[in-house]
Amino acid sequence: MPTTLITGASSGLGAEMARQLAARGHDLALCARRTDRLEQLREEVLAAHPGRRVELRALDVTDHDAVPAVVEDFRATFGHLDRVVVNAGLGKGAALGTGRADVNRETAMTNFVGALSQVEAAMAVFRAQEAGHLVVVSSMSAMRELPRSMTTYAAIKVGAAYLAEGVRHELHGTPLARTVKVTVLYPGYIASEMNDQVASSTPLMASTEKGVRAMVAAIEKQVDSACVPPLPWAPLSLVMKHAPLGVLKRLV
């Protein structure tokens, strides 16, 4: 059975990915800061799928010594890791220069430096195994610069995506390119604990189940990249990338 490691698995997209991948036959390596939530998720998954194996570890991805230790511990426990999903993150943000540099710095440390630690740890395992699938969860906000509270978040999500793209670029044309796959996901509005305060007022919001179903389908196909759900986000990505700034400003 394939073994998938998911960071930030205690709630939201990470928890729903665990449920859906377990239903598809995956064993799970789940980590997050909130281990009580992980325990509840494990009980839920095993009740629905008694044949699955679910291992848990506490992990704060901003503890940059702990990240490789936990990833290696999972690899040793299972004997291998088929996939690592870099999912843990924050949705905090403030307009630059408005006195909340602490909020933007916290998001940067978690969503980019934390992602860097996760990609480093995953690729160390995949290089040793000469096989694996790296999945980085970016965001549709990475398609274009965004204003106000989204400025830092969007910039960081570009950086997270480029970590994965850089790995793919490096591997292209090498023997490892056949056995180490890289996927970048660009989720649009998908309901989760991170955005529950604005979910009811945000247009185009997909349910957690529907949005994650699109994410899992892209993961299983090992596509290079995907806007998820594909509709409306794949065509909207073109609008976001190419619309004049005045038009974009009215849209966001």
**CA end-to-end span of the chain:** 43
Give the global pTM. 0.94
The type of residue at 121 is: A
CA 130 to chain centre: 22
Identify whether the C-beta of residue 146 lies closer than 8 Å to the C-beta of residue 154: yes
More confident residue, 130 or 194: 130
Partners of residue 5 on adjacent β-strands: 29, 84
Residue 248: the pLDDT is 74
Alpha helices by DSSP H, listed for 133-226, are 151-171, 208-221
Q: Percent of the chain, pLDDT > 90?
A: 87
Higher model confidence: residue 239 or residue 56? 56
Looking at 153, 162, 186, 189, which residue is catalytic?
153
pLDDT digits (tens, 9 = 90+) for 35-45: 999 999 999 99
- In the chain the domains, ranked by start, together with CATH numbers, are 3-251 (3.40.50.720)
Q: How far apart are CA 27 and CA 100, in angstroms?
A: 41
Is residue 202 over pLDDT 70? no
SS3 226: strand
Tens of pLDDT, residues 83-115: 999 999 999 999 999 999 999 999 999 999 999
Say if residue 194's pLDDT is above 90: no
pLDDT score for 86: 98
pLDDT at 105: 97
Contacts 24+ apart (CB under 8 A), 236-243: 236/140, 236/188, 237/140, 237/143, 237/186, 240/140, 240/143, 240/144, 241/143, 241/144, 243/144
Query: Do 252 and 147 form a contact (C-beta atoms < 8 A)?
Result: yes
Please name the helix (run of DSSP H) or strand (run of DSSP E) that holds residue 241, with its range, or none: helix 230-242
Query: What tens digit of pLDDT does each residue of 14-36 get?
Result: 999 999 999 999 999 999 999 99
Model pLDDT, residue 203: 73
189 annotated active-site? no
Quote the pLDDT of residue 245: 84
User: For 156, left (φ over 0), alpha (ψ -120 to 50), or beta?
Assistant: alpha
CA angle 22, 64, 43 (to 5 degrees): 25
Separation between Cα atoms, residue 18 and residue 54, nearest integer Å? 9
Q: Higher model confidence: residue 34 or residue 251?
A: 34
Q: What is the pLDDT of residue 244?
A: 79
Q: CA 230 to CA 248: how far, in whole Å?
A: 20
- pLDDT at res. 192: 82
pLDDT at position 104: 97
Report whether 128 contacts 184 (CB < 8 A): no
* 131 touches 180 (CB < 8 A): yes
Banded pLDDT at 198 (limits 50, 70, 90): low
Q: What is the pLDDT of residues 129-163, one digit of tens each?
A: 999 999 999 999 999 889 999 999 999 999 999 99
Residue 212 has pLDDT above 60, yes or no: yes
For the chain, percent of residues with pLDDT exceeding 70:
96
